[in-house]
């Protein structure tokens, strides 16, 4: 027990050092900082503007009004930002496999997956967080949400679960590189698919697609189910106030499966020959 | 010219090496295209015509937009960044070929490979699963092809101009992202700007982005009359000239003084 705690303490120590290093690295390229500061908020502000324009042209989207869509969008962007901070490296796993970069991690006495994600922690993800929080608060006001302890708990649990689901998906996609030996970066595509499926209610899609998004690729749990539970919007699959907790459960399961798949892939890793 | 054709050829061969990339890309793009199609179908459920366009034309728009996105592939900005970071730009500049000529030839090579690896499958899958993306008026075909060529050049020049920032800023990952988002959202590739409020749409019409995707696509689905389309193509051509001028002016400046990291 004490040993486990000491180990955890060690990991926390390393994490702090690593974050310090990450901050130092980004200061190296000032133009880049400015770029991210503009790029990330811009993307989400425009994304949100588009939702507004769509609602203005077409009326409700899949039975959701403007305020409810803002709430959904905000929550989805916040979990996106958190997943960008901790798990974005999953997008680039292919390059690490091809270039033999895992050698470094394998020789150190720390978990490989831990090192892979945390030595490359992406501080810039914070720039995604700000527009997300703004839109979310705006959505809360528009929907006249009563902030109760239960609501706060539901939001926190949803965010943790949603971040884990997104992270799990990135790890899954990244780990395919161990088997295919190619450095494809599906980040852009993943992002685009995630945008369409987490920032709009999935009830607008046909039932076959809803089934896939609920059970096979659990993107529906990232935002749609927990938000419909929080706002009390009925859908024809799952309802009830417990849904945010299911999101957390799905997230943990997803992460465990992804970790297992990664470990399986790592066994096939044979570095880059030279 | 032969030198550049040789680069095009090697690039095609390079692109054909990784098989998994091809299937992965097709799969991902198909998923995106189908979700977009359902998205528009859901929006059009209670309406028949919005912004002068009906559901069927909008579905054609989506399929052709996915196919066109293949032509809008550019690697020039990453290529410049990489060669500045790794220092290979110095040796590249010593070679008896024009630097940007090589980058252009490489991108052309990649696109030729992508036409078969990506565009054809996307059109086939879109035709089978969504609808056959027929052209509204076949007589517009020459106009469409001409505007696609202009779009391609505008898109490439914008990418090259962004890439040149790497000569001074070195790391331009973030700037590439800025450009990508601007292009994705302001070019009408996902949502045509005729759904935007009039003020915003008018501002966007003055920028070069809508002339990359939206103009050729509007011609394809037959939105607006011919006079309007030709008027827009004139603006498109004007943008091409402006960007060309910018390209030459900046190109001259940045390549005179190159800062290299590593190498």
Shortest distance, CA B139 to any CA of chain A (angstroms) = 31
> What distance in Å separates the CA atoms of residue A22 and residue A6, rounded to the nearest whole number?
24
Q: Which residues pair with A61 in a beta bridge?
A: A64
Which residues from B are below 8 Å from A69, CB to CB?
A: none
What are the helix and strand counts (H, E) for chain A? 12, 0
Which structure tokens are listed for B231?
Answer: 């008027």
pLDDT at B263: 46
Residues 34-73, chain B: which have Cβ within 8 Å of A? Answer: 35-36, 38-39, 42-44, 46-47, 50-51
Low-confidence ranges of chain B (pLDDT < 70): 18-20, 257-263
Which structure tokens are listed for B213?
Answer: 């995707």
The domains of chain B are located at 2-256
Which residue is it, tokens 């989207």? A61
pLDDT at A273: 60
- Classify residue A61 by its DSSP letter: B
Residues 6 or more apart in contact with residue B74 via CB below 8 angstroms: B107, B155, B156, B159, B160
Cβ contact A162:A249 at 8 Å = no
> What distance in Å separates the CA atoms of residue A116 and residue A101, rounded to the nearest whole number?
10
Instruction: Answer yes or no: do A205 and B173 touch at CB < 8 A.
Output: no
Domains held by chain A: number: 1
Instruction: Answer yes or no: do A184 and B25 touch at CB < 8 A.
Output: yes
Cβ contact B214:B188 at 8 Å = yes
Cβ contact B119:B26 at 8 Å = no
- C-beta neighbour count of B217 within 10 angstroms: 26
Closest CB to B171: pick one of A32, A49, A189. A32
Shortest distance, CA B84 to any CA of chain A (angstroms) = 14
Q: pLDDT digit string (tens) for A216-228?
A: 888 989 989 999 8
- pLDDT tops 50 at residue A175: yes
pLDDT at B211: 93
Is A239 part of any domain?
A: yes
Q: Where are the beta strands (DSSP E) in chain B?
A: 49-50, 53-54
* Structural domain for A261, as ranges: 2-267
Which structure tokens are listed for B181?
Answer: 């988002």
Helix axes A149-180, A224-231, angle to 10 degrees: 170
Is A274 part of any domain?
A: no
The reply to whether B195 touches chain A by the CB within 8 Å rule is: yes
Is A77 part of any domain?
A: yes
Is A272 part of any domain?
A: no
pLDDT at B261: 59
Instruction: Answer yes or no: do B32 and A196 touch at CB < 8 A.
Output: yes
> What distance in Å separates the CA atoms of residue B76 and residue A172, rounded to the nearest whole number?
30
Instruction: Answer yes or no: do B165 and A31 touch at CB < 8 A.
Output: yes
The reply to whether B30 touches chain A by the CB within 8 Å rule is: no
Shortest distance, CA B74 to any CA of chain A (angstroms) = 14
Cα angle: A165, vertex A94, A209; to 5 degrees: 40
Closest CB to A180: pick one of B20, B174, B191. B20
Q: pLDDT digit string (tens) for B24-45?
A: 888 888 888 888 888 888 888 8
- C-beta neighbour count of A237 within 10 angstroms: 15
Which structure tokens are listed for B230?
Answer: 């030709």
Mean pLDDT score, A114-139: 85
> What distance in Å separates the CA atoms of residue A120 and residue B239, rounded to the nearest whole number?
40
Shortest distance, CA B57 to any CA of chain A (angstroms) = 16
């Amino acid at each position: 027990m004490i040993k486990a705690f000491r180990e955890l303490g060690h990991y926390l120590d390393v994490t702090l050092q690593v974050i310090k290093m990450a901050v130092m690295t980004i200061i190296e390229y000032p133009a880049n900082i400015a770029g991210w500061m503009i790029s990330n908020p811009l993307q989400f502000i425009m994304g949100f503007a588009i939702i507004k324009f769509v609602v203005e042209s077409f009326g409700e989207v899949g039975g959701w009004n403007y305020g409810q869509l803002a709430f959904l969008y905000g929550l989805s962007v916040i979990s996106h930002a958190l997943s960008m901070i901790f798990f974005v490296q999953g997008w680039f796993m292919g390059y690490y496999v091809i270039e033999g970069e895992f050698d470094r991690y394998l020789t150190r006495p720390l978990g490989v997956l831990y090192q892979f994600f945390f030595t490359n922690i992406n501080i810039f993800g914070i720039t995604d967080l700000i527009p997300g929080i703004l839109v979310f608060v705006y959505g809360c006001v528009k929907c006249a949400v009563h902030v109760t302890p239960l609501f706060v708990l539901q939001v926190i649990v949803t965010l943790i679960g949603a971040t884990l689901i997104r992270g799990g998906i990135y790890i899954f996609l990244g780990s395919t590189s161990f088997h295919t030996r190619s450095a494809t970066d599906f980040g852009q595509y993943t992002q685009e698919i995630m945008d369409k499926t987490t920032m709009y209610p999935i009830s607008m899609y046909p039932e076959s697609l809803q089934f896939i998004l609920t059970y096979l690729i659990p993107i529906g749990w990232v935002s749609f189910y927990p938000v419909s539970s929080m706002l009390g919007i009925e859908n024809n699959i799952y309802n009830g106030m417990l849904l945010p907790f299911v999101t957390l459960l799905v997230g943990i399961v997803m992460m465990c499966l992804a970790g297992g798949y990664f470990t399986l892939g790592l066994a096939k890793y044979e570095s880059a020959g030279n | 010219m032969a030198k550049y054709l040789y680069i095009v050829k090697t690039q095609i061969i390079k692109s054909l090496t990784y098989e998994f990339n091809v299937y992965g890309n097709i799969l991902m793009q198909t998923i995106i295209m189908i979700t977009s199609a359902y998205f528009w179908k859901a929006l059009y459920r209670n309406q028949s015509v919005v912004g002068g366009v009906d559901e069927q034309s909008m579905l054609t728009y989506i399929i052709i937009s996915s196919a066109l996105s293949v032509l809008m592939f550019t690697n020039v900005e990453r290529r410049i960044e990489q060669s500045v970071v790794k220092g290979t730009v110095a040796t590249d500049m010593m070679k008896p070929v024009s630097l940007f000529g090589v980058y252009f030839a490489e991108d052309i090579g990649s696109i030729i490979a992508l036409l078969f690896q990506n565009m054809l499958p996307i059109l086939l899958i879109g035709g089978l699963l969504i609808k056959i993306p027929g052209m509204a008026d076949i007589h517009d075909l020459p106009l469409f092809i001409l505007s696609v060529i202009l779009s391609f050049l505008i898109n490439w020049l914008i990418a090259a101009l962004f890439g040149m920032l790497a000569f001074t800023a070195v790391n331009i990952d973030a700037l590439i992202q800025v450009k990508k988002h601007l292009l994705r959202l302001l070019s009408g590739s996902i949502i045509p700007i005729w759904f935007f409020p009039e003020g915003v749409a008018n501002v966007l019409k003055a920028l070069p982005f809508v002339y990359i995707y939206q103009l050729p696509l509007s011609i394809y689905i037959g939105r607006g009359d011919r006079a309007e389309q030709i008027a827009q193509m004139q603006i498109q051509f004007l943008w091409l000239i402006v960007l060309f001028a910018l390209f030459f002016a900046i190109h001259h400046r940045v390549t005179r003084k190159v800062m290299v990291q590593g190498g």
